[in-house]
């Protein structure tokens, strides 16, 4: 795979999936990478959560291309999200939930960790977050993979250009330490963009809820590989 459509942060704006569908039809990517926050502020009722996730997964399944997705901090409780995700994967063979799970496609290996990253402990009920040690354990298979290109998905952004002062330092540490070929992060539309950290191309596509996404084509020369799409 060389051409990817990159998005994240639907934040409950399910009508914005039409933008993603339109971009897939226009650009014909080989893969779609999605960095979580499907629900945004989590609805109060379980029925609303289930409907939100189901609508999202149904829309992804209809794209008809390889898709890797992770949950965001608000996609809780995790057990309920994963139950919906498992059903969606069975119904849509191209759909893969890459949360703490390695997927290999040709010379590309993809893994991710959803939620916030902390030095404290794992939380999976009221808001999704993982301790550094847990995240490192779940992601170990990515660093051990033999594929030429390693893709890391995270639903936080590092400090600096893509995350600002509110960026997550552990996210930055993972990029600095492990140097994946591509790290896709979830951030605000105001901070959307991309930059390189040594070997790693780091991309914040902005919020799909705002109509923002990104395009990556590894076939192009490095300065022209990424386009930011949307308003």
Give residue 41's pLDDT: 73
With 0-12 / 13-18 / 19 or more C-beta atoms within 10 angstroms meaning exposed / middle / buried, residue 133 is exposed
On whether the CB atoms of residues 5 and 42 are closer than 8 A, the answer is no
**pTM for the full predicted model:** 0.96
Give residue 83's pLDDT: 96
Q: Helix, strand or coil for residue 182? A: strand
CATH architecture label of 3-229: 4-Layer Sandwich (3.60)
How far apart (Å, rounded) are the C-alpha atoms in residues 154 and 136?
A: 12
Give residue 218's pLDDT: 95
pLDDT in tens, 79-105: 999 999 999 999 999 999 999 999 999
Residue 42, pLDDT above cutoff 70? no
What would the DSSP string read from start to end of 63-111? Answer: T-SEEEE---TTS-SHHHHHHHHHHHHHH-TTEEE-BT--EEETTEEEE
């Amino acid at each position: 795979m060389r051409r990817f459509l990159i998005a994240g942060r639907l934040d409950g704006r399910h009508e914005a999936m039409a933008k993603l569908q339109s971009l897939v039809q226009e650009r014909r990517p080989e893969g779609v990478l999605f960095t979580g926050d499907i629900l945004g502020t989590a609805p109060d009722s379980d029925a609303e959560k289930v409907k939100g996730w189901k609508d999202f997964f149904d829309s992804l399944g209809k794209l008809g291309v390889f898709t890797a997705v992770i949950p965001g901090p608000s996609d809780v409780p995790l057990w309920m999200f994963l139950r919906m995700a498992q059903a969606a994967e069975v119904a849509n063979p191209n759909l893969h939930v890459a949360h703490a799970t390695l997927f290999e496609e040709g010379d590309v290996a993809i893994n991710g960790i959803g939620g916030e990253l902390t030095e404290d402990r794992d939380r999976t009920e009221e808001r999704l977050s993982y301790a550094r040690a847990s995240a490192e354990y779940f992601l170990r298979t990515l660093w051990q993979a033999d594929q030429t290109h390693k893709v890391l998905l995270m639903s936080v952004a590092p400090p600096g250009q893509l995350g600002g002062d509110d960026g997550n330092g552990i996210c930055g540490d993972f990029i600095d330490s492990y140097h994946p070929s591509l790290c896709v992060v979830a951030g605000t539309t105001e901070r959307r963009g991309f930059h390189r950290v040594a070997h790693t191309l780091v991309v914040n596509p902005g919020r799909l809820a705002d109509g923002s996404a990104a395009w990556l084509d590894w076939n192009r020369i490095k300065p022209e590989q990424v386009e930011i799409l949307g308003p």
